[in-house]
Homo-oligomer: A and B are copies of this chain.
Amino acid sequence: MDELKFIEGGVCAPLGFKAAGIHCGVRKNKSKKDLALILSEVPCAAAAVYTQNKVYGAPITVTRAHLQNGVAQAVVCNSGNANTCNADGVEKAEAMAELTAKALGIRAEDVIVASTGVIGQVLDLEPIASGIPAAAALLSGDGSAAAAEAIMTTDTVKKEIAASFSLGGKTVTLGAIAKGSGMIHPNMATMLSFFTTDAAISPQMLQKALSAVVQDSFNMISIDGDSSTNDTVAVLANGKAGNPPVEAPGADFDRFCEALAVFAKQLSRKIAKDGEGATKLLECEVKGARTVEAARTAAKAVISSSLVKCAMFGADANWGRVLCALGYSGADTDADKVEVAFVSKAGRVEVCRQSAGLPFSEETAKQVLSADEIHIAVDLHEGEAAATAWGCDLTYDYVKINGDYRT
């Protein structure tokens, strides 16, 4: 999609959206923001996808109910506590919606609620109750960065993106923020990501677009193989751009999906690169597969393998681990004609052909694998399908961060 024009402003870049992010006190550390708000001037078409984990957060129960009519106007999200596995979780998530509605003068059913952080600790509503009006007072067109910061947990960089493109003769704008870092192995959804757009699109088509796009973006990330209980991706579309409403499949819908896909893949790369403890982004592209499903399964197995991840951390061209992961992935492949190359900005090294080793320079391989973004190119030579997955290396810091996250 060549005509995407990237701009500043994140979720506030589309017409009619404001955002804010503050420290309210869910987290002890006062220098870390922990409460985000996003508001549209008018009610929006809304769509979302959620974790498939059978243990899921109370905010998901509430948001799912609120989005049944395909309409929403605001997002409230805290970090520091996932409000999951708590007996009073749903009650408190509802209270967050009501407090937000009251502060913003909108309906509680039009609020999307999300939480991220530790599982199984009772959520203290007090800081949130005083934080919501405080954040509401700060809502502005410059608030996207603060909101992006407020949803971070162990993330080290905030993730936001915005771009304009033309749709039905009008300029429409799409914005998004996201967070990832740990417990990241999304299934049908991802960690938290909120999209805003001023495009006019029906809730049904918006849901269709989102559900299609996550398959090859967020669902293709793995930081650590653990699917979170709170994964949520939500999109708000307020129609302010004035384009002819997208209400059926067709060229405009495809164009919107394409833009959404570019965003989702860029955010996926950002989330993978900022995985807990990560020093390197891993990208595995599997082509020559019999089916897209086989390519996805194979690519995701490679970037999920602890052994591949450790080898990449050590800049060790141990391609046998790539073959091993392809073999146990369950993908429909015979894995007997596999070609593997490692590629980075430092060069390219071919290491395997016909599933057997090629002679290569260890020195070159070390150079290639010392870059901070590694592309693992796999060709199964069995068909025409392809897929890409994103992950990160497994490092001492991942162990450190997760050996004592809670206490």
A contact set with B: CB distance below 8 Å? 51-56, 82, 84-87, 118-122, 182-183, 185, 187, 224-229, 304-307, 310-311, 313-314, 316-321, 323-328, 333-335, 352, 354-357, 362, 394-396, 398-407
Contacts and interface: CB of A to CB of B under 8 A. Distances in A.
Contact of A307 (B87, B224, B326): B224
Contact of A324 (B53, B398, B405): B53
B85 A357 contact: yes
Contacts of A401: 310
Nearest to A353: B87
A219 to B, nearest CB: 13
Contacts of A333: 54
Query: Is chain A's binding surface mostly helix, strand, loop or mixed?
Result: loop
Given A86-B357, A403-B314, A307 B182 contact: yes
Nearest to A229: B324
A405 B318 contact: yes
A181 to B, nearest CB: 12
B54 A328 contact: yes
Shortest beta-carbon contacts, A-B, top 7: A119-B320, A314-B403, A55-B327, A310-B402, A227-B328, A120-B320, A53-B327
A120 B321 CA distance: 9
A357 to B, nearest CB: 4
A197 B209 CA distance: 62
Nearest to A227: B328
Contact of A328 (B187, B307, B313): B187
B229 A316 contact: no
A318 B395 CA distance: 21
Nearest to A332: B54
A55 B399 contact: no
Nearest to A319: B120
B120 A323 contact: yes
Contact of A87 (B321, B354, B395, B407): B354
B398 A305 contact: no
Contact of A85 (B54, B84, B323, B362): B323
Contacts of A118: 318, 320
Given A85-B356, A224-B306, 10 more contacts: A54-B326, A55-B326, A119-B324, A120-B356, A183-B307, A225-B304, A310-B398, A311-B403, A311-B406, A394-B399
B403 A325 contact: no
27 contacts: A54-B327, A55-B326, A55-B327, A55-B335, A56-B327, A87-B356, A119-B318, A120-B319, A121-B357, A122-B357, A185-B328, A225-B304, A225-B305, A225-B306, A226-B305, A226-B325, A229-B320, A229-B324, A306-B398, A311-B405, A311-B406, A314-B403, A316-B406, A316-B407, A395-B399, A396-B396, A396-B399
B403 A85 contact: no
B306 A356 contact: no
A337 to B, nearest CB: 12
